Amino acid sequence: MLVNDLFRLSFHNLLLHKIRSFLTSLGIIFGVGSVISMVAISEGAKRQSLAQIEAMGIDKIIVFSKKPPVTGKSDSSSTQGGITETYGLTQIDLSNLKKFDNVARITSLRNSRKKILKGTTRLDMLLVSVDISFLDDTKCKLLEGRWFNSIDEDNYSNVCVIGKNIKRNLFEIGKTGIVGSMIRVEGALFKVIGIVENNLGTQFPEVNSPNDMIIIPASTSDNLFGYNAYQGQGRRQMTITHIEFDVFIIKITNIAFIDDTAKRIKGYMDKTHQKEKDWGIIVPFELLKQREQTQNIFTVIMSSIAGISLLVGGVGIMNIMLANVYERRKEIGTRRALGAKKRDILSQFLIETVFLTLLGGTIGIAMGIGISEAVTRYAQWPTVYTFWSIAVSIIISGLVGIIFGTYPAWKAAQQNPIEVLRAE
């Protein structure tokens, strides 16, 4: 039998039973759709989480101050006004860590813990003093204005750069000319010289995102507020918290030795802060490797669950095609009596099955992409569908058609034309 005639006859039989053909493909449609959507959702989650870690810089080590546990022996002293607590990173730590091998530079961050005022209303915002290298080390982007320069630092200029969320919360929506405006802080006024944005989800311990900071030069903070930061706490008795630095962003020269450098930093901090555990350390490179492994396992699990749907769809196709063989015995017997060979019957049924699975796979891909777009739009969850996931879905659809369609096609080819026609 000619190949063209074989394909034409197969498609003709499928079009004669449109509803049955659609129901046969339904399992593959849902199977492929679930594979595409689940892989897209898991891949989107993976890339988002990895991007947040990468935003901190895989060539960085983050060391930060944290309040020691209640059972810890933090340095404290009683005064007439209350209790003064001292803990966290110090200037001595900064000076010593700069001398370490494989340390290119250290960018320090300090929450000045001053009241940000709008009129007479106190706002829940952070005034953070930083070194000039902060912009490069955090991958922030200037939206307007400029960043600090050496003149600002040397002259202790009362200037600040604000994060994009500060702009939205502190100023009226749609207001222009924000660069040049003044921000009133407890004990000082600052002129806004720039607006920054970090769209990578960077979060630093204790000071959060650059988008939520009012940023001033470190030298200006030291000049206006003194070298140390203070914060009053407590209900009955005033507790004055005394912290020199909140965060060190340590840039590494050679990332190949970042693990050794991190171990030496941990050893130093353990030795110099023996009395209390008032510090923490984050190595984004280590987190990146761990998160990649976790996310890869998560993707495999999600894909396996979705693959079960394809398996169920394949079994459904085989069952329907077996029923189809029984229903079309008269057609098979007539064709065999007219001279059709077994391979013609086998090829016809196999072509029908493969076509149905490929059609179902194509519709399933469209459905999976639609689900992914809906999740992105309504749940604000990033989704990523890659070329390989779509290509693999099409290939798997074809394989499912071949694997689960072979037995029904073989069963059809084995029909005895004499017995079939006699029975009919």
pLDDT at 109 (0 to 100): 92
Q: Which residue has the higher pLDDT, 237 or 266?
A: 266
pLDDT at 236 (0 to 100): 45
Letter for the amino acid at 246? D
Q: Report whether pLDDT(337) > 80.
A: no
Q: Report whether pLDDT(94) > 80.
A: yes
Let me know whether 166 and 249 are in one domain. yes
Diameter of the chain measured on Cα atoms: 111
**Phi-psi category of 35—alpha, beta or left, where left has phi over 0 and alpha has psi -120 to 50?**
alpha
Let me know whether 273 and 209 are in one domain. yes
Structural domain of residue 138, as residue ranges? 67-277
Q: Cβ(399)–Cβ(310) under 8 Å?
A: no
Return the axis-axis angle of helices 342-378 and 329-337, rounded to nearest 10°. Answer: 140
Let me know whether 247 and 294 are in one domain. no
d(CA 361, CA 398): 8
Q: Mean of the pLDDT values across residues 334-363?
A: 79
Residue 60 belongs to some domain of the structure: no
Let me know whether 72 and 207 are in one domain. yes
Domain boundary among the residues 225, 245, 277 is at 277
Q: Mean of the pLDDT values across residues 58-63?
A: 85
Let me know whether 355 and 221 are in one domain. no
Residue 257 belongs to some domain of the structure: yes
Q: Mean of the pLDDT values across residues 110-120?
A: 80
d(CA 211, CA 200): 10
Residue 386 belongs to some domain of the structure: yes
Let me know whether 214 and 347 are in one domain. no
Let me know whether 26 and 116 are in one domain. no
Residue 61 belongs to some domain of the structure: no
pLDDT averaged over every residue in the chain: 79
When pLDDT is cut at 50, 70 and 90, the band that residue 126 belongs to is: confident
Domain boundary among the residues 256, 277, 298 is at 277
Residues 38-50: tens digit of each pLDDT: 888 877 877 776 6
d(CA 144, CA 167): 11
When pLDDT is cut at 50, 70 and 90, the band that residue 192 belongs to is: very high
Residue 269 belongs to some domain of the structure: yes
Residue 388 belongs to some domain of the structure: yes
Residue 57 belongs to some domain of the structure: no
Query: How many domains is the chain built from?
Result: 2
Least confident of 53-57, 108-112, 194-198, 411-415: 53-57
Let me know whether 190 and 314 are in one domain. no
Q: Mean of the pLDDT values across residues 279-307?
A: 74
Residues 135-178: tens digit of each pLDDT: 888 878 898 999 999 999 999 999 999 998 888 888 876 677 78
**Global pTM?**
0.60
Residue 283 belongs to some domain of the structure: no
Let me know whether 254 and 373 are in one domain. no
Let me know whether 294 and 272 are in one domain. no
Domain boundary among the residues 277, 303, 323 is at 277
Let me know whether 197 and 271 are in one domain. yes
d(CA 41, CA 373): 10
Let me know whether 77 and 31 are in one domain. no
pLDDT at 239 (0 to 100): 57
Least confident of 284-293, 338-347, 396-405: 284-293
Q: Which residue has the higher pLDDT, 404 or 230?
A: 404
pLDDT at 234 (0 to 100): 47
